[in-house]
């Protein structure tokens, strides 16, 4: 009963903050590597900072329900901005810091942002550029004064100035702050996160305090997280995952969050902090693995042999050991030796040796990649989640981790598969509504609280885990009527380190074909080792040898597909290697690096047509945007290659042999 | 100052000059190697010992006639130069001077041990028929000059002349000079750096042989011969590490200076001052010309 | 091992050789003579009183630091521990003097090392018989006096000392200064720095000063160069006297004929025409166990090593007799040294008749007889010959000096004098 | 940026002449630098630009003329005295301390700010430790400012050229100078690196109010950055004025076009 | 491989600037200290203590001193033997004149006297550089040895010029003279070396050390950022000589017990210590120890292995020993020109990055 009271009392972030101030005043709440060391703030210090900032924001006119935009890298002051806004009942709206000004303009305008709390001059410049399109913006607050000395705008304030203002105000109105906090409750909107959306404009997902806090607490309960966890906050603050793992769970469980020094030092900082609880999208894990392999290739022969021998052994038994399945004594001893010689040092160099729990989410992760980390003894788990429910839909339970499923429903989550195969769920975390977008809200969330995920999937008959195939709307049919799940196949392709991105076509066609983006790093390295000369991406992508390499990858995927009766017909008949990397600046990718399939298909109609013709080459000219914002045009002759298609029977025979 | 004293003064001066030339013979080897490769060759003294030991060994143990023994020794020194380049220098290209210096110390150790094992540690008498003793004609006039040292001075003169011609007139010599200024430039002459090093170490080996013969004739060939290198050090600083005439003139200045000091100042302070006096003299010169008497003036730029 | 109980106990005798480094030419023959003699005892007699000698060579390179390491390394060797040390360098001797008294191992610095160690009351563990550098210096003065026609004629004469500028070379200076005072000759000390390859200045000074006699305390290459320089300035060789470390074949051979007539101190005969030498050839070299070349047996420094070995083995024999056991230790050997008496008769038994002077060592006198003779180089025959009788030292000069120096040592090091009754 | 009109003169150079032997390197040069401005010295190779900087910070001693820095007039001074009066500089050919890390290089730049004696330093306690920590923080500010956190503890010898230049700037800044002399800060850089460096120079000038005198070949950069430009040619003063004036000056145009030069 | 650095983060500058910021390094150091002070004296016999470890430690101290001058400040010196002699003769005169002051203060005082002498002989370094300076310091070497050999006052007019260390005690334990036992001497020397190695490390990582290194790496640039060459160079000479002087004092008083200047402190001594720091690693405290170990311990071990192990003739063993040392010197320089310390650092770096090569 008592517990219940307490829990209901702690229904907003400012209230959680106050509880930590009482419970663990001198423990670190947040750290940031700055000026060479990990500058740390205890809960008491953080609370004081937040209080001053909140009062300052109030002085600037931020009121209950107003929106505070937050733009920048992960920094304590920006996180504090969130709490400060929440203290006043205002709603923080974090934005992707690398968005170009135009993209920001839409969100800032759509969200009716009143004050923007930004990191530095770069962000200030962007906002100044679009100020007139966002008339609601009244103030800009910046953290880093560098370069802003000569800016003479009345609405531009430094963080310190605002805090000073706040301290003065607090002094004059000592009960203001506490009163504001007390006025908040669980049903207030806690945060507004914009989903990137593969089509159309981003939508502002409104999540209440209850949504966020209950979901966070459920996650903590399921994984037994404590106040002793170490977490590195390095993913964009606008991503729901960062908000959950680095902010909400920190406030609920009371653990400390560390912010890296600089984008260039993330890896180093990761190793220094040695997180016990870690989360990253598959791309990060993949990147890490690619680096491991590239670096190992430069090692001495004997070291390489040692490494590969033990990695092979780990692949055999490591996953089973982690799942606490029995292995032979010999294997176990060998694994222990491997742990001394390879696994433990490797984890240490990667910064993951203290990691108790690692999540991956957002995209399907390649089985090899997944097994690599698990075989090392890192408890990496997939989770399936969405912004609309504050992440958690499904999580893999400990000891039941399989590469091709996303696990069982999280605590308090109900899941059903509708007639079209689309996954739907209901949970305490389900969002209130899309901001100023009732149509979308209505089409996503049913009256009784079920949410359409837009993903197609099914529960595995054997273990009851959820399996995701693809976006529901992307699942189509070939002309012969069989299922066409492009994403599923694309992911299979992308599991090869040489393939960076793949786009499959086939819906409403006779067979499927693919665009491939090669990974410049991996293929480049591969080429250098073979002494192949190339001058850049276009050059490399056109090499015969590279085509051959990719062809092999495609063939392997085809063989895999041929083993599955439902997917055998989707084998890739022809493919091409794109002459340019798909780029968010050209609109080909979303800001979260997801392919915008339809856009790509429209943009490269000529190439798609060529894939379905019998031509072996196609000339294409493309508009591109350079890093500095200039545009230009890129012309190339792209070659098209036929892949090997397996008969269903032949493949199963081969697999048997 | 009476006549006798004056004659004695002349005698001391002349002896100093001669002794200085003997030092120069050793210093010359240092200069050659330093000039061509920037290496301060600590092993130069041991090379002199090694050459002399080989010479005596060939004569005594194998009964070679003098001329054949000399040719044989030169061949050994060239082979040694080749070996040094192969095994040591080639691996240490572009290292800092102090590292190369240290490597030559290792070389000195190896040569020292090898020499002892191969030829034994006894004192060996080296008699090539070089005239020895006082020069009678002058001795009768009251001035004492050692014939061996005059012979050494003559040899040194011939050697310097020979080296001058070698440096000025031959293709290899010009390459050597180029290499001293700039390794790249030498390559453009068309001779590989490796060849140049072998040549310069060979030449230094031959110079070491000459020094070994002169000093060995004086004291017998034995381990102590390698210690004459110490005598060459003040000569080097005074003359500059890169100057052949510097080595000769520096040697003379040091020789005269230390003999005069020992004879005229020594008795008042207890004697045996010539060692430190040589260094003090060199130091005094350096304070006015930090780059040595014949070194090039350095204009510092930033 | 099978040959019986007696041979189980080995007499450990480390030898601090120097067969490397700048002084190796001198160290090698000495070490050969020393080792050959003791090996001969093993082969001929089965050791000393039936106890075999175990030689433990340790290379010092005439380097004090290495010598100390050798001492520490070998002092505890075997069952007996080291019985006696022959340090073979002034520097090493000085190092070992204090250590030996603590470890109770006698030091036999035969004719070298610390002269004042002759005072057995202060230095109970150190023996430097048959004569010291100071005795030797006074003997040279007496020889000169004799050649000049009486000691009185020394007045007004000029005697120069060319010395190795080290502790060793400086040893005779004080004695000679005292002698100069006493006999009224002029004394001139000229140092030569190690290694001594270049002595031009020194000999120019001798040319100018024109001393009547030149003495030399030289070592290594310094000797050869000095003799050559002396020859070059035409200094009469028969007025040039070297200490007994400046009087070996090595020193004179490089100078060739010019060295003819050069003199040096000696306390034993050169040559190999003695019974002991024959035994060495027979029992050692014929068995292929010789340490050096057969034809170099009998060189001056070889004989010096031999005589050192002889006295040492005699001291051990004496110790065995005193204590009535073969199982002796360093402290017993000290007693053996202090009761050592090798007279003519004993020498004859040993096959060394007339090889050296009779020696008697006592508790207070560790220098023994202190007698020294002179030998001269015959360049034609390439051979040294003793050319004088054995002179007694001038104890009125050396006595007080020894007392003074040993007293100072005792004071600085808190050594209390023992009584010798 | 047009603050110099009101500002006082921080450095004035009067009738400086410098020669090495018979070679006249500088001939009767006079100019001044105002507090807070960015002053460029340009001219063809061998014009005496570097020598001018060397004269200002006391490395070369001119035969004639005098220098007034912060009101003190002197004919010459030792380089370390110049440094202690607040003149810092970077070098045409990077002159970093190659055996030390980036951080140590910058810390060395702060040596004038540190005073504790050998005894305390040997103990590394008390004042020495305190001083070390305080200055570490100051050095870190510079590292942060120049965005070189990732190479903080790397030995500078192995860094890429552009970064070395940046570290060198950092070392000069560490001294908190009143006058910063930059000798071709952008030599050998690509356009991106040049842009970064220009940014840093402007930031230094505006953020810390540091007066800057720089030598640079890239005319575009010079004209963009500078408040005033001095032109030297063969040791003589050719022109002195605002960038636009200099650009239009016929002598300058002749000097740059009439004589073949290595640079563009 | 052994290193596990994940999670070792620093929240304060004092932690980041600690002597051994990595935990594992700290454990190793504590281990080494434990072995040095708690195990070695009881596990090893007198021979090891007296004949191997004492000279090793004393040479390490001398090498440390020279490394300060040559390794950190870049001033090549060949006067080490001479400066050691200053330390030795100072402590001798002081021991005889003021025994009541106690041994350790006398050693420190000897260091100070040597520092003064060293500073004096450092004056030419303001004008002379590189090998020229090296050979110029030989003037100090030869002059000092000559002085101590010639002027009777220094050796209290003993007949041969030899000096003997009188017995002295620390807290009633005899540490000099023949009666001193190996353990006492070992503790004394190891203690002094440990304390001053720490001090050297502290100086080297502070302002003064950085100024030295600045002078070494680029003297002109150093001067232009305000490092005074006069102060930097002379302070390096002073501190270096202080260390070398103490080493000389211990060398004479504790290890040898008696010494004559011409042999104990001759030019070979200067070369030996210089070789130590080059082989060990210039500008590295660890390198000073490694270099001393290489040139003091290794030859003795080689000799003992050959003579005791294989029964090699001792003279031949000496020849082989010198050849092996020579070959090893060249070999090490080829493998890693910057000395054993750098080799160690590379190995450590490899360990830290294991299994990666970089």
Is pLDDT at B297 greater than 80 in this prediction? no
Domain of E94, in residue numbers:
34-266
* Residue-level pLDDT at A634: 81
Question: Would you say residue E319 lies in a domain?
Answer: no
Is pLDDT at D2 greater than 90 in this prediction? no
DSSP annotation string for C289-336:
--SS-GGGTT-HHHHHHHHHHHHHHHHHHHHHHHHT-S---HHHHHHH
* Residue-level pLDDT at E158: 82
The set of chains that have 3 or more CB pairs under 8 A with E is A, B, C, D
Q: Is B6 on the interface with C (CB under 8 A)?
A: no
In E, residues 123-142, which contact B (CB 8 Å cutoff)? 124, 127-132, 135-136, 138-139, 142
Structural fold of domain C6-131+270-370+402-412: Rossmann fold (3.40.50)
Percentage, residues of chain C above pLDDT 70: 98
CATH 3.20.20.70 fits D1-86+177-264, yes or no: no
Which residues does B197 contact at the CB level (< 8 Å), separation at least 6? B36, B37, B81, B85, B89
- Of the residues E15, E224, E232, E284, the best mutation for testing chain D's interface (the one with the most D CB atoms within 10 Å of its CB) is E224
Q: What is the mean pLDDT of residues D198-222?
A: 90
Percentage, residues of chain B above pLDDT 90: 34
* Cβ contacts of E214 on chain D, cutoff 8 Å: 97, 100, 108, 111
* Cβ contacts of E223 on chain D, cutoff 8 Å: 59, 78-80, 83
Q: What is the mean pLDDT of residues C108-121?
A: 92
> Is A462 exposed, middle or buried, given 0-12, 13-18 or 19+ CB atoms closer than 10 A?
exposed
Q: Which tokens is A35 given?
A: 């000026």
Q: What is the mean pLDDT of residues A241-261?
A: 95
- How many Cβ atoms are within 10 Å of C176's Cβ, its own excluded? 26
Q: How far is D107 from chain B (nearest CA, A)?
A: 21
CATH 3.40.50.2300-classified regions of chain C: 6-131+270-370+402-412, 133-266
Q: Is B299 on the interface with D (CB under 8 A)?
A: yes
Q: How far is E167 from chain C (nearest CA, A)?
A: 6
* Cβ contacts of C114 on chain E, cutoff 8 Å: 160, 162
Query: Do D80 and E229 count as a contact with CB atoms less than 8 A apart?
Result: yes
For residues E245 and A147, which has the higher predicted lDDT (pLDDT)? E245
The nearest alpha carbon in chain E to B280 belongs to: E139
| Bridge partners, A564 (sequence order) | none
Which residues does D189 contact at the CB level (< 8 Å), separation at least 6? D161, D162, D165, D197
Residue pair C220/C254 in contact (Cβ under 8 Å)? The answer is no
Query: Do B133 and C258 count as a contact with CB atoms less than 8 A apart?
Result: yes
Is pLDDT at E263 greater than 90 in this prediction? no
* Cβ contacts of E283 on chain D, cutoff 8 Å: 99
Is pLDDT at A579 greater than 90 in this prediction? no
Query: Do E206 and D91 count as a contact with CB atoms less than 8 A apart?
Result: no
Instruction: Tell me the average pLDDT of chain A.
Output: 89
Interface residues on D facing E, Cβ-Cβ cutoff 8 A: 57, 59, 78-80, 82-84, 88-89, 91, 95-100, 104, 107-109, 111-112, 114, 116, 118, 121-124, 128-129, 131-133, 136-137, 171-172, 175
- Which of C193, C207, C253 is the closest to B272 by Cβ? C193
Count how many Cα atoms sit within 13 Å of the Cα of residue D99 in the half-sphere of its side chain.
23
Is pLDDT at B189 greater than 70 in this prediction? no
Q: State the pLDDT confidence band at B186, using cuts at 50, 70 and 90.
A: low
Each residue of A175-207: pLDDT tens digit?
999 999 999 999 999 999 998 765 678 999 999
* Residue-level pLDDT at D258: 57
Q: Do A and B make contact, counting contact as 3+ CB pairs within 8 angstroms?
A: no
Domain total in chain E:
1
Q: State the pLDDT confidence band at A3, using cuts at 50, 70 and 90.
A: very low
Q: State the pLDDT confidence band at B255, using cuts at 50, 70 and 90.
A: very high
Each residue of C314-333: pLDDT tens digit?
999 999 999 999 999 999 99
* Residue-level pLDDT at C5: 44
Q: Is A308 on the interface with E (CB under 8 A)?
A: no
Q: State the pLDDT confidence band at C3, using cuts at 50, 70 and 90.
A: very low
CATH 3.40.50.2300 fits C133-266, yes or no: yes
Report whether the peptide linkage leading into residue C195 is cis, meaning its omega lies within 30 degrees of zero.
yes
Q: Is B222 on the interface with C (CB under 8 A)?
A: yes
Query: Do B302 and D20 count as a contact with CB atoms less than 8 A apart?
Result: no
Each residue of B140-184: pLDDT tens digit?
888 888 888 889 889 988 988 888 888 888 877 777 777 766 655
Percentage, residues of chain A above pLDDT 70: 96
Rounded CA separation D67/A125 (Å): 43
Q: State the pLDDT confidence band at A655, using cuts at 50, 70 and 90.
A: very low
Q: What is the mean pLDDT of residues A401-408?
A: 86
Q: Is B297 on the interface with D (CB under 8 A)?
A: no
CATH 2.30.38.10-classified regions of chain A: 280-403+419-470
Please state which CATH number belongs to domain A2-275.
Answer: 3.40.50.12780
Is pLDDT at D186 greater than 80 in this prediction? yes
The nearest alpha carbon in chain D to A145 belongs to: D207
* Residue-level pLDDT at B184: 59
* Residue-level pLDDT at B301: 63
Q: How far is C113 from chain E (nearest CA, A)?
A: 10
Is pLDDT at C139 greater than 50 in this prediction? yes
* Residue-level pLDDT at C302: 96
* Residue-level pLDDT at B190: 66
DSSP annotation string for E192-260:
HHHHHHHHHHHHHHSHHHHHHHHHHH-HHHHHHTT--HHHHHHHHHHHHHHHHHHHHHHIIIIIISEE-
Question: Would you say residue E181 lies in a domain?
Answer: yes
The nearest alpha carbon in chain E to C31 belongs to: E315
What is B3-288's CATH number, 2.160.20, 1.10.357, 1.10.3470, 3.30.465?
1.10.3470
- How many Cβ atoms are within 10 Å of B197's Cβ, its own excluded? 24
For residues B164 and A576, which has the higher predicted lDDT (pLDDT)? A576
Domain residue spans in chain B? Answer: 3-288
Per DSSP, the three-state class of C376 is: strand
Which residues does C107 contact at the CB level (< 8 Å), separation at least 6? C84, C85, C86, C87, C93, C96, C97, C100, C113, C117, C125, C126, C127
Q: Is residue D147 left, alpha or beta, with left meaning phi > 0 and alpha meaning psi from -120 to 50?
A: left
Count B/C contacts: CB-CB distance under 8 Å: 119
Residue pair C352/C275 in contact (Cβ under 8 Å)? The answer is yes
Class of the A280-403+419-470 domain? mainly beta
Instruction: Tell me the average pLDDT of chain E.
Output: 92
ipTM of the complex: 0.87
Each residue of C299-315: pLDDT tens digit?
999 999 999 999 999 99
Q: Is E357 on the interface with A (CB under 8 A)?
A: yes
Query: Do E213 and D97 count as a contact with CB atoms less than 8 A apart?
Result: yes
Q: What is the mean pLDDT of residues B241-257?
A: 89
Q: Where are the alpha helices (DSSP H) in chain B?
A: 3-37, 44-62, 66-87, 97-119, 136-140, 147-169, 171-181, 183-189, 193-219, 229-239, 244-260, 266-269, 274-288
Per DSSP, the three-state class of A58 is: helix
* Residue-level pLDDT at A628: 66
Rounded CA separation A137/A127 (Å): 9
Q: Which CATH architecture group holds A476-656?
A: 2-Layer Sandwich (3.30)
Closest CA to E108 of E250, E246, E252: E246
Each residue of B77-108: pLDDT tens digit?
999 999 999 999 888 887 888 889 889 999 99
**CB crowding D162-173: b at 16 or more within 10 Å, else e:** bbbbbbbbbbbb
Q: What is the mean pLDDT of residues D163-192?
A: 92
The nearest alpha carbon in chain B to E76 belongs to: B98
Q: Is E202 on the interface with C (CB under 8 A)?
A: no
Interface residues on E facing D, Cβ-Cβ cutoff 8 A: 13-14, 16-17, 199-200, 202-203, 205-211, 213-214, 216-218, 220-229, 235, 239, 283
Q: Is A273 on the interface with E (CB under 8 A)?
A: yes
Q: State the pLDDT confidence band at B185, using cuts at 50, 70 and 90.
A: low
Per DSSP, the three-state class of E158 is: coil
Q: Which of A621-635, E119-133, E241-255 has the least mean pLDDT?
A: A621-635
- Of the residues A32, A35, A264, the best mutation for testing chain D's interface (the one with the most D CB atoms within 10 Å of its CB) is A35
How would you write A106-170 as a 3-class SS string?
HHHHHCCEEEEEECCHHHHHHHHHHHHHCCCCCEEEECCCCCCCCCCCCCEEEHHHHHHHHHHHH
Query: Do D147 and A34 count as a contact with CB atoms less than 8 A apart?
Result: no
* Residue-level pLDDT at D33: 94
Q: How far is CA A360 from the centre of its chain?
A: 8
* Cβ contacts of D152 on chain A, cutoff 8 Å: 36
CATH 3.40.50.12780-classified regions of chain A: 2-275
Closest CA to E186 of E32, E31, E42, E286: E42
Q: How far is D10 from chain A (nearest CA, A)?
A: 23
Q: Which tokens is D162 given?
A: 């552009």
In D, residues 141-200, which contact B (CB 8 Å cutoff)? 183
* Residue-level pLDDT at B299: 60
* Cβ contacts of D133 on chain E, cutoff 8 Å: 13-14, 17
Q: How far is A350 from chain D (nearest CA, A)?
A: 17
* Residue-level pLDDT at D227: 93
| Bridge partners, A595 (sequence order) | A589
């Amino acid at each position: 009963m008592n517990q219940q009271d307490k829990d209901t009392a702690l229904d907003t972030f400012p209230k959680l903050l106050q509880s930590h101030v009482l419970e663990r005043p001198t423990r670190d709440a947040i750290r940031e590597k700055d000026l060479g060391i990990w500058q740390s703030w205890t809960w008491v210090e953080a609370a004081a900072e937040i209080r001053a900032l909140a009062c300052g924001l109030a002085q600037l006119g931020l009121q209950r329900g107003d929106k505070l935009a937050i733009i920048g890298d992960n920094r304590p002051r920006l996180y504090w901005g969130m709490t400060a806004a929440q203290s006043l009942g205002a709603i923080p709206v974090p934005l992707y810091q690398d968005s170009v000004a135009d993209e920001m303009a839409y969100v800032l305008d759509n969200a009716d942002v009143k004050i923007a709390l930004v990191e530095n001059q770069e962000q200030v410049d962007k906002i100044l550029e679009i100020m007139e399109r966002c008339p609601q913006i009244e103030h800009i607050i910046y953290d880093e004064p560098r370069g802003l000395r000569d800016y003479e705008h009345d609405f531009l304030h430094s963080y310190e100035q605002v805090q000073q203002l706040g301290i003065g105000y607090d002094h004059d109105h000592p009960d203001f702050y506490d009163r504001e906090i007390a006025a908040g409750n669980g049903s207030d909107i806690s945060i507004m996160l914009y989903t990137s959306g593969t089509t159309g404009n981003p939508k502002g997902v409104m999540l209440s305090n209850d949504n966020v806090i209950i979901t966070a607490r459920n996650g903590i309960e399921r994984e037994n997280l404590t106040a002793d966890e170490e977490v590195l906050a390095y993913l964009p603050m606008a991503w729901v995952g960062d908000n959950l793992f680095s902010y909400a769970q920190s406030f609920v469980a009371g653990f400390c969050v560390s912010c890296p020094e600089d984008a260039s030092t993330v890896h180093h900082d990761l190793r220094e902090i040695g997180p016990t609880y870690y989360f990253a999208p598959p791309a990060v894990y993949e990147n890490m693995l690619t680096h491991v392999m590239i670096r190992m290739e430069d090692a001495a022969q004997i070291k390489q042999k040692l490494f590969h021998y033990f990695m092979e052994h780990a692949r055999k038994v490591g996953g089973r050991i982690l799942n606490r399945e029995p292995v032979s004594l010999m294997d176990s001893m060998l694994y222990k030796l491997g742990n001394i010689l390879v696994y433990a040092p490797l984890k240490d160099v990667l910064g993951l040796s203290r990691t108790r729990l690692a999540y991956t989410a957002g995209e399907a992760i390649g089985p090899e990649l997944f097994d690599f980390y698990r075989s090392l003894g890192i408890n990496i788990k997939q989770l399936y989640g969405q912004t609309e429910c504050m992440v958690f839909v499904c999580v893999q339970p400990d000891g039941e981790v399989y590469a091709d499923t996303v696990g069982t429903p999280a605590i308090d989550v109900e899941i059903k598969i509708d007639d079209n195969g689309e996954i739907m769920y209901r949970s305490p975390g389900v969002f209130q509504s899309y901001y100023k977008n009732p149509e979308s809200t209505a089409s996503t969330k049913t009256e009784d609280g079920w949410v359409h995920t837009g993903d197609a999937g099914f529960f595995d008959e054997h273990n009851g885990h959820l399996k995701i195939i693809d976006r529901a709307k992307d699942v189509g049919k070939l002309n012969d009527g069989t299922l066409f799940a492009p994403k599923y196949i694309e992911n299979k392709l992308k599991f090869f380190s040489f393939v960076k991105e793949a786009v499959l076509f086939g819906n409403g066609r006779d067979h499927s074909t693919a665009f491939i983006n090669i990974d410049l790093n991996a293929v480049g390295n591969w080429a250098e080792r073979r002494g192949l000369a190339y001058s850049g991406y276009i050059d490399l992508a056109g090499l015969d040898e590279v085509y051959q390499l990719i062809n092999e990858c495609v063939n392997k995927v085809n063989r895999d597909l041929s083993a599955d009766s439902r997917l055998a017909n989707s084998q890739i008949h022809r493919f091409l290697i794109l002459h340019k990397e798909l780029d968010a600046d050209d609109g080909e990718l979303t800001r979260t690096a997801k392919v915008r399939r339809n856009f790509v298909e429209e943009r490269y109609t000529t190439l798609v047509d060529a894939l379905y013709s019998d031509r072996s080459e196609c000339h294409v000219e493309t508009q591109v945007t350079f890093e500095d914002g200039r545009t230009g045009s890129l012309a190339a002759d792209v070659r098209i290659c036929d892949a090997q298609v397996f008969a269903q029977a032949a493949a199963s025979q081969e697999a048997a042999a | 100052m009476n006549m006798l004293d004056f004659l004695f003064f002349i005698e001391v001066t002349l002896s100093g000059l001669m002794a200085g030339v003997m030092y120069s013979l050793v210093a010359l080897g240092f200069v050659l190697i330093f000039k061509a490769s920037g290496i301060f060759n600590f092993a130069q003294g041991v090379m002199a010992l090694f050459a002399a030991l080989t010479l005596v060994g060939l004569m005594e143990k194998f009964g070679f006639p003098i001329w054949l023994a000399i040719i044989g020794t030169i061949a050994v020194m060239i082979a040694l130069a080749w070996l040094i380049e192969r095994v040591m220098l080639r691996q240490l290209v572009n290292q800092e001077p102090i590292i190369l210096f240290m490597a030559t110390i290792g070389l000195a150790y190896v040569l020292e041990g090898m020499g002892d094992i191969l030829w034994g540690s006894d004192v060996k008498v080296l008699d090539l028929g070089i005239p020895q003793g006082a020069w009678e004609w002058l001795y009768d006039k009251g001035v004492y000059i050692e014939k061996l040292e005059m012979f050494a001075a003559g040899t040194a003169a011939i050697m310097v002349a020979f080296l001058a011609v070698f440096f000025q007139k031959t293709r290899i010599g010009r390459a050597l000079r180029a290499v001293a200024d700039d390794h790249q430039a030498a390559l453009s002459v068309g001779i590989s750096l490796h060849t140049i090093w072998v040549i310069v170490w060979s030449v230094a080996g031959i110079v070491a042989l000459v020094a070994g013969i002169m000093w060995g004739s004086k004291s017998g060939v034995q381990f102590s011969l390698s210690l004459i290198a110490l005598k060459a050090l003040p000569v080097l600083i005074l003359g500059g590490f890169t100057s052949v005439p510097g080595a000769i003139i520096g040697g003379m200045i040091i020789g005269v200076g230390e003999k005069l000091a020992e004879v005229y100042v020594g008795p008042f302070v207890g004697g045996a001052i010539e060692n430190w006096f040589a260094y003090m003299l060199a130091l005094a010169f350096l304070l006015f010309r930090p780059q040595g008497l014949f070194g090039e003036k350095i204009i510092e730029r930033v | 091992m099978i040959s019986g109980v007696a041979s189980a106990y080995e007499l450990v005798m480390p030898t601090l050789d120097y067969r490397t480094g700048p002084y190796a030419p001198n160290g090698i023959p000495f070490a050969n003579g020393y080792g050959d003699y003791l090996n001969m005892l093993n082969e001929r007699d089965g050791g000393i009183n039936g106890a075999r000698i175990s030689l433990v060579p340790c290379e010092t390179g005439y380097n004090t630091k290495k010598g100390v390491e050798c001492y520490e390394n070998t002092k505890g060797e075997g069952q007996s521990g080291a019985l006696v040390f022959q340090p073979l360098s002034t520097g090493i001797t000085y190092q070992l003097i204090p250590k030996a008294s603590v470890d109770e191992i006698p030091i036999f610095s035969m004719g070298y090392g610390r002269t004042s160690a002759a005072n057995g009351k202060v230095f109970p563990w150190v023996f430097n018989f048959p004569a010291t550098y100071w005795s030797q210096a006074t003997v040279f003065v007496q020889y000169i006096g004799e050649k000049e026609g009486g000691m009185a004629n020394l007045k007004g004469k000029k005697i120069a000392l060319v010395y190795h500028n080290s502790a060793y070379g400086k040893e005779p200076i004080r004695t000679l200064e005292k002698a100069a005072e006493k006999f009224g000759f002029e004394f001139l000390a000229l140092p030569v720095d190690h290694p001594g390859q270049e002595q031009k200045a020194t000999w120019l000074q001798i040319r100018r000063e024109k001393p009547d006699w030149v003495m030399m305390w030289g070592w290594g290459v310094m000797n050869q160069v000095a003799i050559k320089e002396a020859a070059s300035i035409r200094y009469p060789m028969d007025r040039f006297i070297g200490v007994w470390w400046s009087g070996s074949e090595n020193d004179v051979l490089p100078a060739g004929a010019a060295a003819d007539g050069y003199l040096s101190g000696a306390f034993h005969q050169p040559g190999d025409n003695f019974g002991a030498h024959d035994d060495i050839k027979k029992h050692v070299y014929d068995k292929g166990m010789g340490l050096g070349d057969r034809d170099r047996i009998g060189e001056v420094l070889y004989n010096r090593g031999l005589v050192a070995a002889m006295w040492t083995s005699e001291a051990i024999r004496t110790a065995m007799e005193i204590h009535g056991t073969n199982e002796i230790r360093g402290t017993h050997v000290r007693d053996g040294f202090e009761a050592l008496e090798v007279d003519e008769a004993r020498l004859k038994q040993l096959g060394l008749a007339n090889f050296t002077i009779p020696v008697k060592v006592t508790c207070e006198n560790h220098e023994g007889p202190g007698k020294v003779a002179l030998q001269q180089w015959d360049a034609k025959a390439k051979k040294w010959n003793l050319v004088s009788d054995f002179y007694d030292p001038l104890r009125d000069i050396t006595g007080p000096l020894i007392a003074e120096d040993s007293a100072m040592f005792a004071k600085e090091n808190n050594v209390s004098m023992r009584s010798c009754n | 940026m047009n603050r110099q009109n009101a500002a006082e003169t921080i450095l004035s150079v009067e009738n400086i002449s410098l020669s090495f032997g018979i070679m006249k390197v500088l001939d009767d040069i006079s100019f001044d630098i105002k507090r807070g401005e960015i002053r460029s010295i340009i001219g063809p190779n061998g014009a005496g630009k570097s020598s001018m900087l060397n004269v200002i910070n006391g490395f070369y001693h001119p035969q004639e003329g005098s220098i007034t820095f912060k009101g003190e007039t002197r004919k010459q001074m030792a380089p370390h005295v110049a440094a202690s009066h607040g003149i810092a500089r970077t070098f045409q050919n990077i002159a970093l301390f190659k055996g030390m890390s980036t951080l140590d290089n910058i810390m060395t730049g702060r040596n004038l700010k540190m005073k504790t004696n050998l005894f305390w330093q040997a103990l590394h306690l008390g004042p020495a430790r305190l001083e070390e920590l305080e200055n570490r923080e100051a050095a870190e500010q510079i590292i942060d400012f120049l965005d070189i956190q990732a190479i903080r503890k790397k030995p500078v010898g192995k860094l890429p050229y552009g970064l070395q230049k940046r570290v060198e700037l950092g070392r000069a800044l560490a001294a908190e100078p009143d006058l910063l002399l930059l000798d071709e800060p952008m030599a050998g850089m690509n356009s991106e690196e040049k842009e970064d460096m220009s940014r840093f120079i402007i930031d230094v000038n505006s953020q810390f109010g540091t007066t800057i005198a720089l030598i640079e070949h890239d005319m575009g950069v010079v004209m963009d950055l500078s408040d005033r430009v001095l032109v030297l040619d063969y040791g003589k003063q050719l022109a002195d004025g605002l960038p636009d004036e200099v650009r239009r000056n016929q002598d300058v145009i002749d000097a740059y076009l009439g004589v073949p030069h290595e640079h563009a | 491989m052994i290193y596990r650095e994940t999670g070792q983060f620093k929240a304060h500058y004092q932690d980041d600037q600690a002597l051994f910021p990595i935990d594992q390094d700290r454990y190793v150091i504590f281990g080494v200290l434990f072995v040095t002070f708690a195990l070695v004296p009881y596990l090893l016999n007198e021979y090891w203590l007296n004949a191997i470890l004492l000279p090793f430690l004393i040479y390490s101290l001398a090498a440390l001193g020279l490394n300060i001058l040559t390794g950190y400040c870049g001033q090549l010196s060949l006067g080490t033997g001479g400066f050691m002699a200053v330390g030795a003769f100072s402590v001798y005169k002081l021991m005889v004149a003021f025994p009541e002051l106690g041994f350790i203060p006398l050693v420190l005082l000897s260091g100070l006297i040597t520092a003064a002498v060293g500073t004096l002989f450092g004056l030419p370094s303001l004008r002379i550089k590189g090998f020229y300076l090296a050979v110029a310091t030989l003037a100090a070497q030869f002059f000092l040895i000559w002085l101590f050999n010639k002027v009777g006052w220094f050796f209290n007019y003993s007949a041969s010029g030899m000096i003997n260390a009188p017995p002295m005690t620390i807290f009633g334990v005899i540490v000099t003279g023949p009666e001193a036992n190996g353990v006492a001497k070992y503790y004394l020397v190891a203690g002094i070396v440990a304390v001053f190695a720490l001090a050297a490390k502290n100086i080297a990582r502070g302002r003064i050390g950085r100024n030295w290194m600045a002078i070494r790496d680029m003297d002109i640039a150093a001067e232009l950022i305000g490092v005074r060459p006069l102060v930097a160079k002379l302070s390096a000479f002073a501190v270096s000589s202080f260390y070398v002087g103490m080493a000389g004092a211990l060398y004479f008083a504790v290890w040898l017990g008696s010494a004559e200047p011409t042999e104990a402190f001759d030019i070979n001594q200067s070369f030996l210590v210089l070789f130590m720091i080059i082989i060990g690693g210039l500008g590295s405290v660890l390198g000073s120890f490694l270099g001393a170990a290489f040139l003091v311990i290794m030859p003795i071990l080689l000799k003992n292995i050959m003579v005791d192990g294989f029964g090699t003739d001792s003279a031949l063993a000496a020849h082989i020993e010198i050849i092996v040392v020579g070959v090893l010197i060249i070999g090490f320089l080829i493998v890693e020109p910057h000395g054993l310390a750098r080799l160690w650092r590379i190995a450590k770096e490899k360990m830290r990055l294991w299994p990666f090569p970089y």
